[in-house]
């Protein structure tokens, strides 16, 4: 008997861990040293967990032996509550907080609980494929709204408005954004909120990079501007405390919960089914949320992420045929290629060719549901020197590259 995968997986895609990844693994197995600029995984580039996190884990491990509350340990949820109250969330309690095995698990949970077949979710393009793939798997249909490169990669509100239909259930905001590193100002968020309010949409706000800010930019949580709307905010420690492998994320359900009792009950059902999320990692949440300094130190002049961003931008500016909006958060940039100059018609081929010729693994724009083959994402995690060399190598590769 031939067994096929479920139809729901037909459109699920990952270029971060897809065919390019498989090819890079093959090359590595042959002893070729590949620079993997594909994942935002700081520990693979020598970032270590802060002492605050390490001590909280080592000193408390005995407390994490049993299944804990299905929403998460009370001490951890209290710390999360305090954090979000300090960011201007209103009328939330620890009952509105669910801890999960990373934001990844919670995204899947809240979309599975919401969507019926054919329901639509507005998702940014470009965007990290988690939301898109989870929508497909939940039986929904991702509908992409454009983020506008000529306006600092802010969401194009007119485009968003045009994409709303009678089937639209929710809008996803990723702020700060992956892959563009953009941080949205209050006016942009207010326009999205107004549109969601007019059309009765749930807002999902993925704010996992909210502490990774540069250049004095301030992060505003969507929920703080929309106390009357159902907003589900995602956050976690993978990036801010460089502990992706801990699988530690959470969501906060805020706003008009009264009208969403049944939906919230559905989320509860799914959280109950998986018993609880990893309790060991929950032990570190209070200490981590008390320790902003270790994150901040990476983002200021002299800090690793800041200097890596500077090195990346400086070297990108020297490449003819590339332009790039400077990011002010996270550790990604999404440069634009002059596809006429390089005659590029297929961005995956561009990525494969770069991998083979320079042993650098970047993810093409199509991996972020960007429709034209003119962008790619760089993960800026190597040390500044190595980062600068990698970008120079990309420039060198492009000198003679024509598809
Ligand atoms: C925007 C965004 N959301 C969520 C995640 C996944 O987070 P977690 O490690 O908590 O599952 C990532 C990982 O890169 C991300 O970029």
pLDDT digits (tens, 9 = 90+) for 151-164: 999 999 999 999 99
Q: Which atom of ligand 1 is nearest to the CA of 100?
A: 10
Share of the chain above pLDDT 90, in %: 93
Q: Which atom of ligand 1 is nearest to the CA of 177?
A: 1
245-256 pLDDT per residue, tens: 999 999 999 998
User: Would 42 be classed as within a structural domain?
Assistant: yes
Confidence class for position 293, pLDDT limits 50, 70, 90: very high
Is the separation of the CB atoms in 172 and 165 below 8 Å? no
Count how many Cα atoms sit within 13 Å of the Cα of residue 339 in the half-sphere of its side chain.
Answer: 14
Dist. CA 128–CA 338, nearest whole Å: 23
Residue 270 sits in the same domain as residue 137: yes
User: Would 54 be classed as within a structural domain?
Assistant: no
Quick one: pLDDT at residue 3? 86
What is the value of pTM for the model shown?
A: 0.96
Is 206 near ligand 1, meaning CB less than 6 Å away? yes
Q: Give which of 226, 320, 241, 264 is closest to 49, Cα–Cα.
A: 241
Residue 238 sits in the same domain as residue 340: no
Quick one: pLDDT at residue 54? 94
Residue 169 sits in the same domain as residue 305: no
Q: What CATH number has the domain bearing residue 24?
A: 3.90.1150.10
Radius of gyration of the chain (CA): 21
Range of 17's domain?
7-48+296-399
Q: How far is CA 86 from the centre of its chain?
A: 22
Q: What CATH number has the domain bearing residue 278?
A: 3.40.640.10
Average pLDDT over residues 98-102: 98
Is 237 near ligand 1, meaning CB less than 6 Å away? no
Q: Could you say which of 291, 307, 335 is where a domain stops?
A: 291
Q: Give which of 347, 317, 313 is closest to 214, Cα–Cα.
A: 313
Q: Could you say which of 246, 275, 291 is where a domain stops?
A: 291
Dist. CA 142–CA 127, nearest whole Å: 12
Residue 71 sits in the same domain as residue 214: yes
User: Would 53 be classed as within a structural domain?
Assistant: no
Q: Which of 1-15, 107-121, 190-204 has the lowest mean pLDDT?
A: 1-15
Residue 248 sits in the same domain as residue 322: no
Average pLDDT over residues 322-329: 96
How does strand 332-333 pair with strand 360-361?
unpaired
Residue 193 sits in the same domain as residue 125: yes
Residue 190 sits in the same domain as residue 249: yes
The count of structural domains within the chain is 2
User: Would 251 be classed as within a structural domain?
Assistant: yes
Dist. CA 233–CA 253, nearest whole Å: 7
| E-state strands within 165-230 | 168-174, 202-206
CA-based torsion, 348, 353, 354, 355: positive or negative:
positive
124-171 pLDDT per residue, tens: 999 999 999 999 999 999 999 999 999 999 999 999 999 999 999 999
Residue 173 sits in the same domain as residue 274: yes
Reply yes or no on whether the pLDDT at 17 is more than 90: no
Is 104 near ligand 1, meaning CB less than 6 Å away? yes
Dist. CA 180–CA 188, nearest whole Å: 16
Quick one: pLDDT at residue 257? 81
In a mutational test of the pocket of ligand 1, which residue from 42, 98, 100, 104 has the highest number of ligand atoms less than 8 Å from its CB? 104
Residue 172 sits in the same domain as residue 283: yes
User: Would 23 be classed as within a structural domain?
Assistant: yes
Residue 361 sits in the same domain as residue 273: no
Q: DSSP letter string over 140-154? A: -EEEEEEEEGGGTTE
Q: DSSP letter string over 176-190? A: S-TTT-----HHHHH
Residue 118 sits in the same domain as residue 244: yes
Report how far ligand 1's centroid is from the alpha carbon of 208 (Å): 7
User: Would 41 be classed as within a structural domain?
Assistant: yes
335-381 pLDDT per residue, tens: 999 999 999 999 999 999 999 999 999 999 999 999 999 999 999 99
User: Would 346 be classed as within a structural domain?
Assistant: yes
Which amino acid residue places its CA nearest to atom 1 of ligand 1?
A: 178
Is 174 near ligand 1, meaning CB less than 6 Å away? yes
Q: Give which of 117, 56, 379 is closest to 243, Cα–Cα.
A: 56
Q: Could you say which of 276, 291, 306 is where a domain stops?
A: 291
Reply yes or no on whether the pLDDT at 292 is more than 80: yes
Dist. CA 351–CA 377, nearest whole Å: 10
Report how far ligand 1's centroid is from the alpha carbon of 100 (Å): 12
Average pLDDT, the chain: 95
Residue 220 sits in the same domain as residue 72: yes
Confidence class for position 14, pLDDT limits 50, 70, 90: confident
Which amino acid residue places its CA nearest to atom 4 of ligand 1?
A: 103
217-268 pLDDT per residue, tens: 999 999 999 999 999 999 999 999 999 999 999 999 999 887 899 999 999 9
User: Would 2 be classed as within a structural domain?
Assistant: no
């Amino acid at each position: 008997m031939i067994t096929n995968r479920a139809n729901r997986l037909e459109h699920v895609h990952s270029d971060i861990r897809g065919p390019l990844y498989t090819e890079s693994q093959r090359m590595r197995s042959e002893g070729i040293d590949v620079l993997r600029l594909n994942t935002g995984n700081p520990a693979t580039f020598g970032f270590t967990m802060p002492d605050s996190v390490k001590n909280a884990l080592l000193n408390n491990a005995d407390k994490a032996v049993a299944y804990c509350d299905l929403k998460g340990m009370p001490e951890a949820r209290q710390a999360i509550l305090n954090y979000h109250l300090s960011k201007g969330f209103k009328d939330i309690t620890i009952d509105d907080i669910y801890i999960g095995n990373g934001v990844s698990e919670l995204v899947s949970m809240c979309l599975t609980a919401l969507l019926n077949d054919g329901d639509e979710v507005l998702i940014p393009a470009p965007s990290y494929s988690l939301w898109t793939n989870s929508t497909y798997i939940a039986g929904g249909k991702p509908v992409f709204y454009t983020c506008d490169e000529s306006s600092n990669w802010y969401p194009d509100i007119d485009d968003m408005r045009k994409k709303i239909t009678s089937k639209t259930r929710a809008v996803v905001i990723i702020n700060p954004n992956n892959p563009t590193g953009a941080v949205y100002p209050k006016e942009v968020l207010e326009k999205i909120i107004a549109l969601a309010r007019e059309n009765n949409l749930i807002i999902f706000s993925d704010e996992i990079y909210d502490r990774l800010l540069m250049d004095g930019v301030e992060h505003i949580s969507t929920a703080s501007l929309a106390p009357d709307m159902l907003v589900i905010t995602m956050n976690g420690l993978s990036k801010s405390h460089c502990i992706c492998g801990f699988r530690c994320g959470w969501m906060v359900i805020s706003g008009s919960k009264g009208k969403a009792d049944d939906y919230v009950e559905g989320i509860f059902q799914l959280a109950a089914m998986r018993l609880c999320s990893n309790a060991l990692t929950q032990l570190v949440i209070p200490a981590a949320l008390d320790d902003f300094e270790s994150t901040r130190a990476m983002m200021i002049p002299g800090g690793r992420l800041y200097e890596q961003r500077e090195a990346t931008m400086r070297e990108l500016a020297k490449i003819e045929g590339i332009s790039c909006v400077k990011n002010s958060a996270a550790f990604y940039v999404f440069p634009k290629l002059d596809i006429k100059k390089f005659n590029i018609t297929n961005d995956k081929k561009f990525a494969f060719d770069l991998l083979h010729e320079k042993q650098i693994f970047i993810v093409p724009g199509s991996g972020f549901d960007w429709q034209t083959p003119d962008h790619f994402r760089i993960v800026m995690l190597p040390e500044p020197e190595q980062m600068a060399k990698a970008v120079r190598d990309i420039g060198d590769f492009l000198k003679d590259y024509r598809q």
